[in-house]
A and B are shown apart, each in its own frame.
Chain A
Amino acid sequence: MSPGWIKVTIIGIYLGLLLFLGVFSSRLFRGTSKDYMLASHSIGPFLLLMSLFGTTMTGFALVGSTGEAFAEGVGVYGMLASSSGIIHSLCFFVLGVKLWSWGKKYGYTTQAGFFRDRLESDKIGLVLFPILVGLVVPYLLVGVISAGKAIEGATRGDFPGFTENGGIPPWLTELVICVVVLIYVFFGGMRRTAWANTFQTIVFMVLGVVAFYLIATGLANNSVAEGRAHKVVDGQRVVRTEPPTGLMDSLRIVSQEIPKARRVRAKVALEDQLETVEAPASLGLEKNWTHGCF
């Protein structure tokens, strides 16, 4: 089997498992709208944690911020990741718990329902619905587009003649992803979504560690083989010829190749840092509404 078809098979098995999980969890469906939208409030702490983590690990986090960090340097982590750790939780703590209690008390299942009741206007619900859907669409599109780009890059050259660069075209990946997600969301609701997210989170965490190890050691080996690695002997910088001895040694070799501008935060201004507090805040608010609260 060619490398391209091996990759397609692995991706196919992964998507197949997602669908299988969806079918399996749908056996627990109780046939009510509350169960469809909220899994009858039955999502426990583990599923909620995994589900939220999986939702956060979108194309934006896995592909977008990684690319941004490659271009701009380590400051991207400070702008996006550590601020999310503070602001997402703050949104949950200040708003999430309160909204959850109102959701339970008054039976709210959607944001539009909450505002319609709170502002005592049916029309506000009609106005809010398209606005809220419109705000979610770009966020979802980022995930779909990045999946297409990632698979195109991973399969580049594997299918010569199929496309110009020999990779799987983004539109095909995006179509398949949308169909799979639509199947498990439409037919299973929130419970299926939570189960699928949990499965994906476990896969991301395990494969993330494996990928980190393989990429770091691979880059270090290349660096030594191509004569770019160096060491200091008697105060002199000399080319290193010994292969890396483990993960820590590999990391040290790889870190030599990070340009100084990306090791410091030369490309991140204070205004960027302050402005990006808003991004995790808005994301945190969105997750409050869509996940933990109602």
Chain B
Amino acid sequence: MKIVVWGLVLLLVILHHDVWNWNNDKLVFGFMPITLAYHAGISVAASVVWFMATKFAWPTDLEEEVAHDAAAQEASV
């Protein structure tokens, strides 16, 4: 799953450069320029991907290491 998350991050970085949209002046819902709507979508997608990252790719070993060290320190005091 970690690989999927990092793959999605890479995909976001690539999709962020939407050169194919740059001269399109279509209005989405009759008021929003399409390139703006596209990047609003990228922002929402980024929040979903980073939420997935915290669920599936979070470095829990680091947290455990810190908790272990803190417990050891308390025990020595």
Contact = CB atoms under 8 A, between A and B. Distances in A.
Instruction: Answer yes or no: are A and B bound together in one complex.
Output: yes
A268 B21 CA distance: 12
B33 to A, nearest CB: 4
B16 A82 contact: yes
Interface in A63-89: 74-75, 77-78, 81-83, 85-86, 89
Nearest to A73: B33
A86 B42 CA distance: 9
A101 B65 contact: yes
A86 B65 contact: no
22 contacts: A74-B36, A75-B22, A77-B39, A78-B16, A78-B36, A81-B43, A82-B40, A90-B9, A101-B62, A101-B66, A105-B69, A251-B30, A251-B32, A255-B27, A255-B30, A255-B31, A258-B33, A260-B25, A263-B25, A263-B27, A264-B33, A268-B22
Given A101-B65, A105-B66, A255-B30, A85 B35 contact: no
Q: Binding site of A, secondary structure by majority: helix, strand, loop or mixed?
A: helix
B63 interface: yes
Main secondary structure of the interface of B (DSSP, over half): helix
B22 A265 contact: yes
A7 interface: no
Contacts of A81: 39, 43
Contacts of A270: 17, 19
Contacts, number: 94
Interface residues of A, number: 33
A30 interface: no
B13 interface: yes
Nearest to B12: A86
B70 interface: yes
Interface in A94-144: 97-98, 100-101, 104-105
Interface of A: 74-75, 77-78, 81-83, 85-86, 89-90, 93, 97-98, 100-101, 104-105, 248, 251-252, 254-255, 258, 260, 263-266, 268, 270, 273-274
A266 B32 contact: no
Interface centre among B17, B27, B32, B35 (most CB of A within 10 A): B35
Nearest to A216: B31
Contacts of B36: 74, 77-78
B46 to A, nearest CB: 4
Contacts of B25: 260, 263-264
Contacts of A101: 62-63, 65-66
Contacts of B40: 77, 82
Contacts of B69: 104-105
A268 B35 CA distance: 12
B18 A78 contact: yes
A260 B43 CA distance: 24
A248 to B, nearest CB: 7
Given A101-B62, A255-B31, 17 more contacts: A74-B33, A74-B35, A75-B22, A78-B18, A81-B43, A82-B46, A85-B43, A89-B50, A98-B59, A255-B27, A255-B30, A260-B25, A264-B24, A265-B35, A266-B22, A270-B19, A273-B17
Interface in B19-55: 19, 21-25, 27, 29-33, 35-36, 38-40, 42-43, 46-47, 50, 53
Nearest to A75: B35
Given A82-B46, A265-B35, A104 B66 contact: yes
